[in-house]
Each structure stands twice: as C-alpha cells, then as structure tokens.
Amino acid sequence: MRAARLIKMVLLLQNRPSMTAAELAAELEVSERTVTRDALALSEAGVPVYADRGRAGGYRLVGGYRTRLTGLARGEAEALFLSGLPGALRDMGLEDAASAARLKVSAALLPSLRDAPRSAAQRFHLDAPGWYQEPETPELLAPLAEAVWDDRPVSARYRRGDGEVARELEPYGLVLKAGVWYVCARAGASWRTYRVDRFGAVEVREERFVRDPDFDLAAFWSERSAEFARSLLRAEVVLRLSEAGARRLPYVTDRAAAEEAVAAGVREEDGRVRVTLRVENEEVAFGQLLGLGAEAEVLAPAALRERFTETARAMADRYR
C-alpha cells in the first residue's frame, strides 16, 4: 500500500510545479508527518524530491524529472472510461481506480496539455438521476459491479411480487437509468434485466464465466427498454388535436407512441388531426393529456371524455 502511495505522490508532483505538505496530505489521505517520511524515502530511492522551506514552500521535483510509471492497469483503464460519472464510480467501488488512472494519464501529457482534464471538468458534467428524487445507492451494487468487471457468476435472491426467488446469473453489464441501477444478465439460456435495489442477497462465486463476444450492452438495453415501454401501453385513446397539440403531444406522453399516432393521424376539415394514441391506462392518460389544455379534445373512450368534460366545467366554475 505504501508503494502505491509513493507512486501517487510522484505523479502528483510531476503534474504540478509545487505542492505543500498539507495539499499532499489531503490528496494522499495521510498526515503531514507521513508526507515528510514519504518524501525522504523517495529521495533515498533516487527520486529528486526537493523541499522548499518557508511560508511559500512546498515539495517539488527537481530537474524536469519524469517518472515512467504511467502504464494503466486494466481496472484503471476501465474506470477511466467512466470518469464522467463520479457518483456511479463511487457507488460501484471504483473511485480509487479512476483517480489513479486520471493521474497516470495526466502524467503522460505534455506540459501544455496538463490543464485539459480540469478544463473539461469545468465545462461538462453528467447528472444521471432524474429531477425531484434523491438517488439511493443499492446495498448490493458493489458486489454486482465486482462480478460484472471480473466475469464472475452470482447466486442471488431477488424480490419479485410478495416473495423472493433464487437466481443463478451471469451478470454482463450495469445500467444507470434516471438514478436507478439495473443489471443485465444471462440466466440459463435467456437474457434478463433486474433492478439492483430488488436483490436481497448476492454471492459472487470464485469461477469465471465465458462472455458472449457478440453481446452489446448498449444495443441490448435499447431493445429491452423499448420493449418495456411498448408493453406498458395497453389502452387506446382517440383524440382531436390542434397543430399546437400535435407538436406538444410527444412532450406529455410516450414520445414514440405520440409520434406514431400523429404520423398516422387523419386531417379533418377544420385543420385539426384525429389520432389514436396508445396509453398505459385511462388514469395515466388523463394526467398526461390534461397538460395539453384546449389543444386536445378526447373523443373516446366515453368515460375519459366525460371526465374531461367534468374537469373543464369545474375549472370554468372555479375561474368564473
């Protein structure tokens, strides 16, 4: 562990002109006394670490010294590709690997490019969770992430309905969707998607499974999420939309269903378009279509039209 800390110290000093003992202690998560001892150990090993005394003093490398200890380990390289997701890295237990990878990449850059990582971080940030909810880290995310990275099967208990079921899984990938973690796994001969927060127990086994080289996580997730979205749309609503209503429909309900409905719609004499929209159910449709106001008229089913009629009458009375 000390060897890794010494390497990190050299890389930090290589990336900056000078660092105080306090700054190094904060980066390395040790005391300033430990920093002093580590600097002495590096000097004795032939690394030209120099300590400037005084209030503006600090540690620096002398004579343009550059370490060649910049080769990325496999875990560091994998974590580097996720470095735009600091929260996700932390949740999966990969924060240290990503930090080491970023240091090594920075150390390998030309001095004129040293500020590139900081410059990018100031300009771009990915905030994965949706609005109006506090993301929670599933308790068993870390062992599942370990299994995914190492191609190890897991024996798991998964909550389904009112009970738990046992599952033997080969976890292929993790997906963070609007603050919710999912694992895509092979269960026997079939491929399944599981919510990580519904696992009651996960045991990572010692052996490794052989990954299917043709598996494409992004394509698999896109296909399954589209199937899931379509499976929810079990009812139909007939609408008459103004031009503004047709434009806004994809923003209040399922986008694919809305675009499909408008494309297949029939233009009427008054310029409005009559569409048949697939929805989850009448209750959900009421809440969604209410946002269109007078730009949409519900024609069927009759019960939903009557509900809109009553709501419009009540609103008119309220604002009279």
| Per-residue pLDDT reduced to its tens digit, 36-85 | 888 888 887 777 888 877 666 688 888 666 665 555 455 554 444 455 55
82: Cβ contacts below 8 Å, ≥ 6 apart: 88, 89, 94, 98
- pLDDT given at position 160: 86
- pLDDT given at position 54: 66
Q: 266-283 in b/e burial notation, b at 16+ Cβ within 10 A?
A: eeeeeebbebebbbbeee
Low-confidence residues of the chain, pLDDT below 50? 72, 77-81, 110, 113, 119-124, 126
- pLDDT given at position 19: 86
Cα(217)–Cα(28) distance, rounded to whole angstroms? 35
- pLDDT given at position 127: 54
- pLDDT given at position 185: 94
- pLDDT given at position 314: 94
- pLDDT given at position 205: 95
- pLDDT given at position 119: 46
